[in-house]
Structure 1
Amino acid sequence: MRAISPNPRGRVRRPTLLFALLLAFPLSALAEVFQIADIRVEGLQRIAPGTVFNYLPVQVGDTVGDGVTGGIIRSLYRTGFFDDVRVERDGNVLVLWVRERPAIAEIEIVGNKDIETEALDSALADIGLKEGRVFNRSVLDRIEQELERQYFARGKYGVLVQSTVSPLERNRVAVRIEITEGLTARIKQINIIGNDAFSEKALRKQFELGPTRWSSFYSKNDQYSKQKLAGDLERLRAFYLDRGYIKFEIKSTQVSISADKKEIYVTVVIDEGDPYRISDIQLAGEPSVPTEKLFPLIELKRGELFSRKHVTESAERISNLLGDEGYAFANVNTVPEIDEASHEVAVTFFVDPGKRVYVRRVNMKGNTRTRDEVLRREMRQLETAWFSADLVRKSRERLQRLGYFDDVSIETPPVAGSPDQVDVDVTVEEKPAGNLAAGIGFSQSQGILLNASVTQNNFLGTGKRVGLAFNTSTANRRYQLAYTNPYYTVDGISRGFNLSYQETDFDELIGADYSTDVGIAGFSFGLPISDISRAGLGLRYQYTDFSPGESELAEEFVARNGHTFNDFVLSANYSSDSRDTALFPTRGSLRTLRAEIALPGSDLEYYKLTYKERLYVPLTSRFVFSLSGDLAYGDGYGEIDYLPFFENFYAGGPRSVRGWQANTLGPRELSTNDPVGGNLKLVGSIELFAPPPVGGDFEKTLRLGAFFDFGNVWLTDDSSLVDNTGFDLGDLRYSAGLSVSWLSPVGALSVSIAYPLNEKDGDETQVFQFGFGQTF
């Protein structure tokens, strides 16, 4: 076959010749080698000429020829600033013609609900798409792909991401990214293939993901996520490894989606292997601590099934013990020796304690107002002592409990050139130590609440507390001046003084027609028992002016005892607080025991005992179980054989048994039917708390709860003026309901809806209750 020539006459067509001339023109201008006398840049709008010169591989005085121009063009293209670059020669002047890429004037993101706009803006800026930067189409394409990947990971397989670039004046563009998220694909079924030792139902319990159920609106367990599935598979692996199946494998994981992209099917293929039992347990290496101290930390027994969890926890306990003994860099490795034939495994713990470490210095940073001594007296890790990880942790917890700092961090860097020394660097972020506050609130039990206070928790950086406060409501008016020195002695004994005056109208508070004016002057001492517990002792002088009103019970009391009383009250208390935080705790407990006695010689001789406890147990990462109890008893002695009734305990209301009006439970005066309280109190609650499923800031400031309350008060002494005296557990009241607690920007808000379960004749119930401006 003969090839056909496109131009049999051998001539070059005119268009082709013209194109070749135009293409070669810039190069022909540089065909001769010349020395650069000057460099001129044409076409710049926003970019300064100096920026271009910084990227040029040549400068004035250099010799330029054909081989250099390509490097100049490539260098300027690599900057990403230009769409077009040309190199020309004007005499001995090097001329650069450039066309700048447009700048991004604005970025608009619409249609996104599942991912917040702020998070998207931050991610786009990290990739290079930000207002003021040079626009690059390839970057925008990459962003579209990344957005789709992010939504796919959230189970939104029908997502559509479209971007529009609109030109603006002065070589700028506006970028609009429109996102159509679509519906989240729901998991229809999870299949596990290859299981023999355990049922598929038992294995599926290890998965957070699963088909839609009644709680899916909250837990979102039916929304597929690649990260969640990876976590579920790791839990499945741990389930088998903790039951002796060392050779367990996940062979494959298949995720398929229906044609309409609404349903997801997950199939997991596993190979269980055989269970292995522990044949031997050994310690190797140089523990530096007697083995009789280490072996009790190992939760393994010969003959039982191998458990990775128990092995890991045992190694951690050994490492922690060594850390507390000064071996800060101890390393504990676990080596299992597997016998395939007998299906047994010998576990050896190799202990490498390293050198024993001392603390050279404890350094304080960030405390611009608080004195060093205030921080140092809370430190349990001391200078020149052995390093202890446990003491460092306790030191941080004590500093956090002071309330002076927003954040406390402790680092233990090694000392350069000294392998057996570390420094303890304590860094604090101080928050305002003084507080000037005024507020207004409302409570159904006390009406409008007005309060104002000037408090200095860290007076002049000394750690001392000084406070002046007043609050008033329709039922109460109170003024107080208080001072506390938490370290009156170097051993941590505290001393405090208190002056207060309070007027209480019990008619407004509980409906009983009498009132009291009480003035108090007292002092107290506190003694630390442990890092979480304290004991205290106090003595106060208490003046009481009692106004009986029209109550027969009050008139009889005045007739027998008078209406003004001077009492000296001795108090003792014990408290233990192991909660992880004071607001919305998730674990730990708070216990308080308090005893008060009006000393012999006082006008009123009586005593009161109270015990309160609240326990918090985390059930899951979100749900917290709480159990609380409040038990109190009081009585008279000497010349008065009963507790003064204005010192009685009360029950009912938002802070007691919800579902009943505040302070209305218990015995009542026969003539007026007003509640009079009792000298014995029993109140308790069982609650389940969780943050809302909405996420964001509400996770930290809002709690939802379901509760079961019970309680009442009793008057154990007989009285002809009071109905229903004597103790009877059958008088307990029960209620159940839902609660919301919110630390709002303008104050604390608590709301509850409670339904009385055993209401009786004469009870004053209240289904909806709330308080605003109070702590809870």
Structure 2
Amino acid sequence: MFPVSPTAAMRLPAAMIVVAAAVASPAALAVAPFVLKDIRIEGLQRTDPGTVFGALPFRIGDTYDDEKGAAALRALFATGLFKDVRIEIEGKTAVVIIEERAIVASVNFVGLKEFDKEPLTKSLKDAGIGEGLPFDKALIDRAEQEIKRQYLSRSLYGAEVVTTVTPIERNRVNVTFTMTEGDAARIKDIRIVGAEAFRERQLLDLFELTKVGWFTWYSKSDRYARTKLNADLETLRAFYVNRGYLEFAVESTQVTISPDKQEITVTISVREGQPYTVTAVRLEGDYLGKDDEFRSRVLVRPGTPYNGEAVSETAKRFTDLFGLYGYAFARVEQRPEIDRATGQVVVNFVAEPQRRVYVRRIDVAGNTRTRDEVVRREFRQLESSWYDGGRIKLSRDRVDRLGYFKEVSVDTAEVAGAADQVDLTVKVEEKPTGNLLLGAGYSNAEKLSLTASIQQDNVFGTGNYLGIQVNTSQSQRTLVVSTVDPYFTVDGISRAIDVYYRTQRPLNQLGDEYSLATPGASIRFGVPFSEFDTVFFGIGAEQTRIGTSQGIPLSYLNYRATYGANSYSIPLTIGWQRDSRDSALTPTAGRYQRVNLDWGVAGDVRYLRANLQYQQYFQLPARMSLGVNSELGYGIGLGGKPFPIFKNFYGGGLGTVRGFEQGSLGTVDPTGAYIGGSKRFNLNASLYFPVPGTGNDKSLRIFAFSDLGNVWSENQDMTYQSLRSSVGLGLSWISPVGPLQLSWAKPVQVERNDRIQKFQFQIGTAF
């Protein structure tokens, strides 16, 4: 008989452990059945006796036999709490002798820099290594190897991980992982061998991986990772296939690491093949008698080079169209017929619509906080109705646009025993929707501005918004309390309530103190007229108080003398908005349109104020994009009164015409104060370039811009000659502390008394 050491026992499968324990403990087996008079447990230090008794398959008064003894050993070892277990029989008493495993008292990391401690601690605990869990040497060894693999995935090929297990009192251990990370290996060179149709440089520009460059310290794109290389190879293949090289193939990839493990060379060998031209597109199979409708969705054109992306997109369009008619499981195959002798290809699309189905039930999964109702009310696909792929996609997009979830997906499952029914499951992954912000921003226009806000976009999982915002700067101070109910009615009409207190101090050359104070409140409703268009209307009440401190502009003093220090207004708000941009912070494609009209219908102040904005973004080759923004503001006074001066537009600086000091365009008061005007026009064009070495990262971009615009008073004409313009360069960065924008501008159209400010920046607020 061979003894089994405790260390070796931990490495054996559970079944072998039971057998070894049984062989090593003959007293537990080969006994005649008898009635138990007592059960005694020995060796426990931390484990509750109830855990042991609960695992035993026998009780006092039961008949004990060899089978129950073996079952008890299996059950106790299965708990994972014990290093050794045996059962001895003393008369009619079963003595369960336990040797507990050590418990992990703490898990520590020394030299850890590349990874965050908290996620690593959590992942280890999920794997069974954590404070209060039983110590398992095999798990520790696997964790050590996994950490090393994670270092390799980040190009830290010289990283070493050493695990130290320190026993302490009461059968506990401290586990310490000591890391020697070293420096990350950098890609010294990437070569593509066999490319003849295109320049190597052009192909390398497609890659996320790059060799060492000026900005790779930020993007880390010079760190080799097999997953990134595989993605780049797929991008390379798509590039060729989209240009007719249907038989393109990557024959091999070689990755060479220098002896000091600091430099990597990647060599890619490719076979281009010959380019193919499409001669015909054929539709084969069952197209529900709607061949013309399907053919209208074909993106492949005869006489053009074969384009794999167009072929795949056409097949997807066919599948989506089948889905619109209720065929959820339609199959569309792409079968190219190649003629190598002539370099021609015929593209065949073979369709099998399968069967038409309807949706039996829609379930929501993963929403631990958000109520089902919040998700379901965004769905346009209904239960017990025909399956509609278009409505399902629209529903998924609407749920995603709520902003409450990290990921949203819709799974389709067949109903057992019902070939014409499917169930949909909307899977969501919650994300934090509350935000507590205490911060500061600085611009050379506003100087220091402090911000504080607490907001919750999904209060108690209802989908309602509640927020308090505080902003303070040299010229603008705001306190706003807001609440928004996006489904104030079951038809999707939203309701927003704002209570605010704003103070305004227009730019003054003398730097004297004076202020405008505007307390008020408003309520507005948003009515969705389509899936993309929303019309807003509301009403508010506000009071504007004009102070009398020294330095008040003459225009404000005259307005105060004529109409009083306190002005009351009841403004109505009407607006329309459509937003199809691909991103609100870093858009590269899409359009944004907005029209807003404020109408002071009652009170001391009667006016009409309109603001129109149009933005368009275009994607260009080489990861560039062009953005064009235009804005027109116009205000007039009603009831024989002038347009209220405190409702003026302002211009100059970031967001309007860069190169001119913030708020300095427009009418200049005799006291030297810049008081804006009742009319404003801006036209901005920006050409965005990726920063070299950052790959497809859109958070850091260089741009060249041209601005045109000005502000006019009520009695001035908007003429081209009075416009101000500038050109320049800038840098935008979505930094960890907020969006940052830097710009250097050279004014082109400028007047003698204009206040020029060539360098401008802003951080901490959206732009």
Shorter chain as denominator, the TM-score bin is: 0.7 to 0.9
User: Separation in 2 of the partners of 1:658 and 1:337?
Assistant: 57
User: Separation in 1 of the partners of 2:563 and 2:24?
Assistant: 117
SS at match of 1:332: strand
Q: For 1:147-296, what aligned pairs fall within 5 Å after superposition? A: 147-288=147-288, 290-296=290-296
1:332 is matched with: 332
Instruction: Give the counterpart letter for 2:162 in structure 1.
Output: Q
Question: Residue 736 of structure 1 contacts residue 757 of structure 1 at CA under 8 Å; is this kept in 2?
Answer: no
TM superposition shift of 1:272: 2.8
Question: Residue 330 of structure 1 contacts residue 352 of structure 1 at CA under 8 Å; is this kept in 2?
Answer: yes
1:629 is matched with: 630
Say if 1:51 and 1:279 are closer, same or farther in 2 by CA, change over 3 A: farther
Instruction: Give the counterpart letter for 2:673 in structure 1.
Output: D
TM superposition shift of 1:293: 0.8
Q: For 1:71-110, what aligned pairs fall within 5 Å after superposition? A: 102-110=102-110
Question: Residue 486 of structure 2 contacts residue 494 of structure 2 at CA under 8 Å; is this kept in 1?
Answer: yes
Say if 1:198 and 1:566 are closer, same or farther in 2 by CA, change over 3 A: closer
User: Separation in 1 of the partners of 2:96 and 2:523?
Assistant: 86
1:313 aligns with 2:320: no
1:609 aligns with 2:610: yes
TM superposition shift of 1:222: 2.0
2:672 is matched with: 673
Instruction: Give the counterpart letter for 1:394 in structure 2.
Output: L
1:713 is matched with: 710
TM superposition shift of 1:611: 1.6
User: Separation in 2 of the partners of 1:75 and 1:762?
Assistant: 90
User: Separation in 2 of the partners of 1:489 and 1:165?
Assistant: 62
Instruction: Give the counterpart letter for 1:594 in structure 2.
Output: N
Say if 1:98 and 1:625 are closer, same or farther in 2 by CA, change over 3 A: farther
User: Separation in 2 of the partners of 1:405 and 1:708?
Assistant: 35
Say if 1:152 and 1:618 are closer, same or farther in 2 by CA, change over 3 A: farther
TM superposition shift of 1:77: 8.9
User: Separation in 2 of the partners of 1:290 and 1:569?
Assistant: 54
Question: Residue 510 of structure 1 contacts residue 663 of structure 1 at CA under 8 Å; is this kept in 2?
Answer: no
2:578 is matched with: 576
Say if 1:294 and 1:598 are closer, same or farther in 2 by CA, change over 3 A: same
Question: Residue 508 of structure 2 contacts residue 673 of structure 2 at CA under 8 Å; is this kept in 1?
Answer: no
TM superposition shift of 1:315: 0.6
Q: For 1:144-543, what aligned pairs fall within 5 Å after superposition? A: 144-288=144-288, 290-360=290-360, 378-399=378-399, 413-423=413-423, 506=506, 527-536=527-536
Provide TM-score, normalisation by structure 1: 0.73
SS at match of 1:297: coil
SS at match of 1:530: coil
Say if 1:31 and 1:733 are closer, same or farther in 2 by CA, change over 3 A: closer
User: Separation in 1 of the partners of 2:98 and 2:78?
Assistant: 13
Deviations 1:328-357 (A, max 9, x none): 222222223344555444332222223223
Question: Residue 469 of structure 1 contacts residue 480 of structure 1 at CA under 8 Å; is this kept in 2?
Answer: yes
Instruction: Give the counterpart letter for 2:672 in structure 1.
Output: N
TM superposition shift of 1:181: 1.6
SS at match of 2:299: coil
Deviations 1:91-136 (A, max 9, x none): 9999898766544333322223223333443444455444444444
Instruction: Give the counterpart letter for 1:153 in structure 2.
Output: S
SS at match of 1:229: helix
Say if 1:248 and 1:135 are closer, same or farther in 2 by CA, change over 3 A: same
More deviation, 377-386/460-469: 460-469
Instruction: Give the counterpart letter for 2:32 in structure 1.
Output: Q
1:594 aligns with 2:609: no
The share of aligned pairs that are identical, in percent, is 36
Question: Residue 381 of structure 2 contacts residue 395 of structure 2 at CA under 8 Å; is this kept in 1?
Answer: yes
Instruction: Give the counterpart letter for 1:610 in structure 2.
Output: N
Say if 1:395 and 1:509 are closer, same or farther in 2 by CA, change over 3 A: farther
1:728 aligns with 2:692: no
TM superposition shift of 1:711: 4.8
TM superposition shift of 1:184: 1.7
Deviations 1:712-754 (A, max 9, x none): 52437778xxxx996536622456544666786xxxx666554
Instruction: Give the counterpart letter for 1:245 in structure 2.
Output: Y
Q: Give unmatched runs, 5+ long, in structure 1.
A: 1-25
2:16 is matched with: none
TM superposition shift of 1:292: 0.6
User: Separation in 1 of the partners of 2:398 and 2:26?
Assistant: 79
User: Separation in 2 of the partners of 1:768 and 1:400?
Assistant: 36
Question: Residue 371 of structure 1 contacts residue 462 of structure 1 at CA under 8 Å; is this kept in 2?
Answer: no
SS at match of 2:184: coil
User: Separation in 1 of the partners of 2:294 and 2:491?
Assistant: 34
Say if 1:536 and 1:231 are closer, same or farther in 2 by CA, change over 3 A: closer
Deviations 1:220-255 (A, max 9, x none): 232211212222222222233333333333332222
Question: Residue 595 of structure 2 contacts residue 611 of structure 2 at CA under 8 Å; is this kept in 1?
Answer: yes
User: Separation in 2 of the partners of 1:148 and 1:367?
Assistant: 34
1:662 is matched with: 662
User: Separation in 2 of the partners of 1:28 and 1:407?
Assistant: 54
User: Separation in 1 of the partners of 2:389 and 2:202?
Assistant: 39
User: Separation in 1 of the partners of 2:437 and 2:116?
Assistant: 35
User: Separation in 1 of the partners of 2:456 and 2:119?
Assistant: 39
Instruction: Give the counterpart letter for 2:336 in structure 1.
Output: P
User: Separation in 2 of the partners of 1:469 and 1:192?
Assistant: 54
User: Separation in 1 of the partners of 2:153 and 2:187?
Assistant: 13
TM superposition shift of 1:577: 2.2
User: Separation in 1 of the partners of 2:479 and 2:375?
Assistant: 32
TM superposition shift of 1:299: 1.6
Q: Give unmatched runs, 5+ long, in structure 2.
A: 1-22
Deviations 1:438-492 (A, max 9, x none): 9999998789989999999999999899999998888678898999887787766
Say if 1:440 and 1:180 are closer, same or farther in 2 by CA, change over 3 A: closer
Aligned length: 729
Question: Residue 507 of structure 2 contacts residue 664 of structure 2 at CA under 8 Å; is this kept in 1?
Answer: no
Question: Residue 716 of structure 1 contacts residue 727 of structure 1 at CA under 8 Å; is this kept in 2?
Answer: no
User: Separation in 2 of the partners of 1:517 and 1:33?
Assistant: 95
Say if 1:438 and 1:736 are closer, same or farther in 2 by CA, change over 3 A: closer
Say if 1:119 and 1:530 are closer, same or farther in 2 by CA, change over 3 A: same
TM superposition shift of 1:300: 1.6
User: Separation in 1 of the partners of 2:285 and 2:453?
Assistant: 62
Question: Residue 166 of structure 2 contacts residue 174 of structure 2 at CA under 8 Å; is this kept in 1?
Answer: yes
More deviation, 215-224/451-460: 451-460
User: Separation in 2 of the partners of 1:482 and 1:544?
Assistant: 20
- 2:32 pairs, out of 31, 35, 45, with 35
Say if 1:313 and 1:362 are closer, same or farther in 2 by CA, change over 3 A: same
2:117 is matched with: 117
User: Separation in 1 of the partners of 2:348 and 2:650?
Assistant: 62
Instruction: Give the counterpart letter for 2:158 in structure 1.
Output: G
Provide TM-score, normalisation by structure 2: 0.73
User: Separation in 2 of the partners of 1:53 and 1:519?
Assistant: 68
Deviations 1:63-86 (A, max 9, x none): 79xxx9999999999997777789
Say if 1:60 and 1:276 are closer, same or farther in 2 by CA, change over 3 A: farther
User: Separation in 2 of the partners of 1:306 and 1:269?
Assistant: 23
More deviation, 266-275/576-585: 576-585
Question: Residue 606 of structure 2 contacts residue 639 of structure 2 at CA under 8 Å; is this kept in 1?
Answer: yes
SS at match of 2:631: strand
SS at match of 2:675: coil
2:10 is matched with: none
Say if 1:27 and 1:662 are closer, same or farther in 2 by CA, change over 3 A: closer
Say if 1:629 and 1:513 are closer, same or farther in 2 by CA, change over 3 A: farther
Say if 1:407 and 1:510 are closer, same or farther in 2 by CA, change over 3 A: farther
